[in-house]
Chain A
């Protein structure tokens, strides 16, 4: 049934539909609406979820991890500073193979204080072993949240879902909300075999020597690579049931493109409009929305880019001293392939700066008219 929902509430509806058993959370702008609504749903008994208020995000994720290890479905949400505070536990949860789903609302990191949209917070966690989805609109948010539980529980890789601060979190869009029975049919209960059990006591993650540690790390890597196939499978299954899929990437008008713009999150909607405008002007420009970031869907991207001679990556994030992170990941991935476009790495929209169709068109125009700067330097765009 179609409802008008803010991005944050699309999350809480999905979490309710997913029959999450346990939530431990700490509020932070702009995710607070997620856990606030979930707490109200739990208090009213609309959902049978144990909701625990904790004193920090570090504890929130640690509590979820502990709960998950007893075999229950868990969820939490955070943003920016809160995600950073959780960092140690992000590694722990992934290493302990707990399929927690967490929503991170992309918000700029202090100092200086800035509440608005920027992707550096989640991207700075890309080494922690969590899979990462970047959602483009509120339907994507709701659907990906449901899908994330299924993917995480099959691979035992925790899932991070990302929304743009305010542009999605606090913006209302029409969203098709599945019925509970449909959601149940899509997402069966979580019933793992290996759990903390006082009847069969064991510990997880105790001190381990180099050989076993090496093997465990390799198993994690393999599971993360499995996500590529499993996420595609789950999305296809979702499309069959609900009539809509989102793809791991979504190319648009890339056939015979001179330039392919690579974007993520809400910037993709903006880029699509810019592509249409440029095509009207006779420029051969296409774009690709990158929905799954980790594991990086390099093969799919290479195929979608095809023989386009130029790629412009728009990064609303920064690795200081390096440049935009999507650009870096793409360059690294393409290096071993036969696809050899010139890659332009645009860094823009930091601290919530507006990215408009006009600015995307202008960036595209710049890429078409120039060669990339020497030594992969970022192109700063305001």
Chain B
């Protein structure tokens, strides 16, 4: 057989580079710097990828500075935020999501002089801003307004700042000294804080160019049953306030807590620590509880008992204790809020004896002093969803943020995000540009959610809203599982002995190790995966290690985009 002739015909040494396949292209790949899913999800608008990256590289002060551009309260958030970032972290399904909150906590605890990591304020303006309330919404609003150069005064009814952070959340979740450390910015930025100074008439603030109502929601809902005023009955917020100001009542040995939200969890866990056995009584089922899963889990671990589908029908005060009569419920049709309505089951009464009965049935804003046209249903201040502006002819430059105006998503981080939003909207108003406030705020919104980037507001507005990666852009096939850093807690038996912090946090080394697990979604890290998979050898390593796309041969197949583990490549249509 003529084998040599065969291979003479079959083989060739012609260089295939003669065929410039780049002309076949309809789309070309480009590096796209997009925000990660965690940042899009963060209600406070944290620049998560950036501060985690800096922490991973050991540049802790730069990491803290990156946080402080967006969020004044990292030691607080690192402890009490419900961390929705971890819910969307791309490492879900690989090993464990990056514990962004614990990294934030370590950074927040780090510098004794937090002012050293504060952003430089803008030049002083001639505008004066008043913020009513120093809870997380008011604090964030004051912070960002001061950074924008305005003169800020906070009016706080209580003797100390913090709102729910100080008077609601107990120390085992947020130690007072950590909260105080976060609040150093007030002095550092020259914000005037006037404590013990409630406002009950807006006319008192006529001298201010803009006002933010960050009133919170402190009016506890009351039971509507006989015996609701019995001496053994405490409102949840009142109970917590007493605990948090060192004036805790003795709960006796049996505490009954009515409710299923975070306030109920904190009341139950505080009662435990004061020596009582605590039973949480909730009218719906376990899966309906509005409390955050972490809070419920910690309550369970500490030995809080639960009764589900029970409703109190009467309280009978006796000499020392009280008898609480309950009726069992069955879940009926959903109500107007979509939640199943609990209906009493006839003939199912039973009773629990209690030394203290704590009601945690939800709160409404104490807004009765405001003119009626500023109020929507259930006492909530009527504020625009995008600008936080209280739209009214009666008063210009009035804004609201946090629980005072939010109807749902009443968390610390949402409040911080809302305070930031109000401050930026105020600045736009003070510049006389309110008509385009919606457009400006849209352009600094990440991924079409609630996350606002104040850094972009200051450093230069993008031309279009900030894009975020989509979950489908992440290719986990190329992500190797890595051991997550263990999250440490006090032992359950230890926890209830006092009010020491339950989650014992991380040091810088642990936080850096955890931070190194971050994929850096949406940004190119020069991992080289695209180089490996390009079938046309058209992805080559550029000077900075990141890929260059050889336009002469790239056919625009998009395999680089599909293989990129972190969604850092986009396809752009070729102009014809």
The interface size bin for chain B is 10 to 19
**Smallest CB gap from B14: residue in A:** A206
Q: A197-205, A243-251, A297-305, A311-319: which one contacts chain B?
A: A197-205
Cα-based distance from A206 to B9 in the complex (angstroms): 10
What's the Cα separation between A203 and B13 when bound, in Å? 6
Complex alpha-carbon distance, A201 and B12, angstroms: 9
Chain A residues 156 to 173 lying within 8 A of chain B, measured CB to CB, are 156
Contact B6 A219 (CB under 8 A): yes
A-facing residues in B1-49 (Cβ within 8 Å): 1-3, 5-7, 9-14, 16
| CB–CB B6/A97 < 8 A | yes
Partner of A203, one of B2, B3, B6, B16: B16
Tell which of B5, B11, B14 touches A219, judged by Cβ atoms closer than 8 Å.
B5
- When C-beta atoms are compared, the residue in chain B nearest to A96 turns out to be B10
A193 to B14, CA, bound (A): 20
Give B385 Cβ to nearest chain A Cβ, in Å.
48
Whether A194 is near chain B, meaning CB under 8 Å from some CB there, is yes
For residue A281, CB closer than 8 A to chain B, the reply is: no
Q: Interface-forming stretch among A43-51, A110-118, A208-216, A332-340?
A: A208-216
User: Smallest CB–CB gap between B9 and chain A, Å?
Assistant: 5
- The reply to whether A206 and B1 form a contact with Cβ atoms under 8 Å apart is no
Residue of A nearest to B7 (CB): A194
Q: Indicate with 1 or 0, residue by residue over A202-232, a CB within 8 angstroms of chain B CB atoms.
A: 1111101000100110010011001000000
Are the C-beta atoms of B7 and A203 separated by less than 8 Å?
A: no
Contact with B along A60-75 (1 / 0, CB 8 A): 0000000000000000
Neighbouring A residues of B5 by C-beta, 8 Å: 219
Please pick, from B2, B7, B16, the residue contacting A206 in the complex, using a CB distance under 8 A: B16
Would A205 and B13 count as touching, CB distance under 8 A? no
Flag whether A122 is at the interface (Cβ < 8 A): no
List chain A residues, Cβ under 8 A from B12.
202-204, 206
Chain A residues 260 to 307 lying within 8 A of chain B, measured CB to CB, are none
Name the contact of A97 in the complex, choosing from B10, B13, B14, B16 (C-beta under 8 A): B10
**B13–A201 contact, CB under 8 A?**
yes
Chain B residue numbers with a CB within 8 Å of A155 are 1
CB distance from A295 to the nearest CB of B (A): 15
Q: Do B1 and A212 touch (CB < 8 A)?
A: no
Chain A residue contacts of B11, Cβ below 8 A: 194, 202-204
Nearest CB on B from A111, distance (A)? 33
Q: Which residues of A contact B9 (CB under 8 A)?
A: 208, 212, 215-216, 219
Interface residues of B in 374-404 (CB under 8 A from A): none
Query: Is A204's CB under 8 angstroms from B10's CB?
Result: yes
Q: In the complex, A96→B12 CA distance in Å?
A: 13
Contacts of B14 in A (CB 8 A): 203, 206
Contact between A216 and B13 (Cβ–Cβ < 8 Å)? no
| Complex Cα–Cα for A216 and B11 (A) | 11
Residues on B with C-beta less than 8 A from A193 are: 3
**Known contacts A203-B16, A206-B16, A223 near B10 by CB under 8 Å:** no
> Which A residues are CB-close (under 8 A) to B10?
96-97, 194, 204-205, 216
Q: How far is the CA of A193 from the CA of B1 in the complex (A)?
A: 14
How many Å lie between the Cα of A193 and that of B6 in the bound state? 12
Shortest distance between the CB of B473 and any CB in chain A (Å): 23
A122 to B51, alpha carbons, bound, how many Å?
62
| Known interface pairs A97-B6, A194-B7, A216-B6; A223-B13 also in contact (CB < 8 Å) | no
Q: Give residues of chain A (93-132) contacting chain B, Cβ–Cβ below 8 Å.
A: 96-97
Contact in complex: A156, B13 (CB < 8 Å): no
On chain B, the residues within 8 Å of A204 by CB distance are 7, 10-12
Residues on B with beta carbons closer than 8 Å to the beta carbon of A205: 10
Cα–Cα, bound, A201→B16 (Å): 12
Alpha-carbon gap, A203 to B3, bound state (A): 16
A residues near B2, Cβ cutoff 8 Å: 219
Nearest-CB residue, chain B, relative to A230: B1
How far apart sit A206 and B13, CA to CA, in the bound complex (Å)? Answer: 10
Complex partner residue of A223 from B1, B7, B16, CB under 8 angstroms: B1
Q: How far is it, in angstroms, between the C-alpha of A205 and the C-alpha of B2 when the chains are bound?
A: 17
A95 to chain B, nearest CB (A): 8
Q: Encode A177-199 as 1/0 by CB contact (under 8 A) with B.
A: 00000000000000001100000
User: Chain B contacts of A219 at CB under 8 A?
Assistant: 1-2, 5-6, 9
Q: Report how far A206 CA is from B7 CA in the complex, Å.
A: 12
A303 to B12, CA, bound (A): 44
Proximity string of chain B (123-135) to chain A, C-beta cutoff 8 Å, 1 when within and 0 when not: 0000000000000
The 0/1 profile, CB within 8 Å of A marked 1, for residues 53-91 of chain B is: 000000000000000000000000000000000000000
Tell me how far the C-beta of B478 lies from the nearest C-beta in chain A, rounded to whole angstroms. Answer: 17
CB distance A226 to B1 under 8 Å? yes
* Cα A204 to Cα B16 with chains together (Å): 12
Q: In the assembled complex, which residues on chain B have CB atoms less than 8 Å from the CB atom of A226?
A: 1
Q: Are B3 and A156 in contact (CB under 8 A)?
A: yes
Nearest A residue to B10, CB-CB:
A204
Least Cβ distance of A20 to chain B in Å?
23
Residue ID in chain B nearest A215 by CB atoms: B9
User: How far, in angstroms, from A108 to B12 measured CA to CA in the complex?
Assistant: 41
* Max chain A Cβ within 10 angstroms of own Cβ: one of B11, B13, B16: B11
Question: How far apart sit A201 and B15, CA to CA, in the bound complex (Å)?
Answer: 10
Q: How far is the CB of A82 from chain B (nearest CB, A)?
A: 25
In the bound complex, what is the Cα–Cα distance between A201 and B2 (angstroms)? 22
A270 to chain B, nearest CB (A): 38
Contact of B1 among A194, A208, A222 (CB under 8 A): A222
Q: How many angstroms between the C-alpha atoms of A298 and B388 in the bound complex?
A: 91
Kindly state the separation between the CA atoms of A208 and B5 in the bound complex, as whole angstroms: 15
Contacts of A156 in B (CB 8 A): 1, 3, 6
CA distance A370 to B3 in the complex (A): 51
CA gap between A205 and B6 in the complex, in Å = 11
* Measured CA separation A96–B9 after assembly (Å): 11
Chain B, residue nearest A205 (CB): B10
Nearest CB of chain A from residue B5's CB, rounded to whole Å = 7
A226, closest chain B residue (CB): B1
For the complex, what is the distance from the CA of A203 to the CA of B19, rounded to whole Å?
14
- Proximity string of chain B (326-341) to chain A, C-beta cutoff 8 Å, 1 when within and 0 when not: 0000000000000000
Q: How far is the CA of A96 from the CA of B3 in the complex (A)?
A: 13
Q: Which residue of A lies closest to B12 (CB)?
A: A206
Task: State how many angstroms separate the Cβ of A275 from the closest Cβ of chain B.
Answer: 39
Nearest Cβ on chain B to A329's Cβ, whole angstroms: 25
Closest to B6 in A: A219
Contacts of A223 in B (CB 8 A): 1
CB distance from B398 to the nearest CB of A (A): 63
- Nearest CB in chain A: distance from B366 CB, A: 64
- The interface centre, meaning the residue of B1, B3, B10 with most chain A CB atoms within 10 A of its CB, is B10
Residues on A with beta carbons closer than 8 Å to the beta carbon of B1: 155-156, 219, 222-223, 226
Bound state CA distance, A96 and B10, in angstroms? 8
- Closest approach, in angstroms, between the C-beta of A287 and any C-beta of chain B? 35
* Chain A contacts for B7, CB-based, 8 A: 194, 204
Min CB distance B250 to A, Å, is 68
CA A223 – CA B2 in complex, angstroms?
Answer: 9
A202 to B16, CA, bound (A): 10
Question: In whole angstroms, how far apart are the Cα atoms of A204 and B2 in the complex?
Answer: 17
A194-B10, A204-B7 are known contacts; what are 18 more A-B pairs with Cβ within 8 Å?
Answer: A97-B6, A155-B1, A156-B3, A194-B3, A194-B7, A194-B11, A202-B11, A202-B12, A203-B13, A203-B16, A204-B11, A204-B12, A206-B14, A208-B9, A215-B9, A216-B9, A222-B1, A226-B1
Interchain residue pairs A-B with the least CB separation, the first 6: A194-B7, A202-B11, A206-B12, A202-B13, A212-B9, A216-B9
12 pairs from A and B in contact (CB 8 Å cutoff):
A97-B10, A194-B7, A194-B10, A201-B13, A202-B11, A203-B11, A203-B13, A203-B14, A206-B14, A216-B6, A216-B10, A219-B2
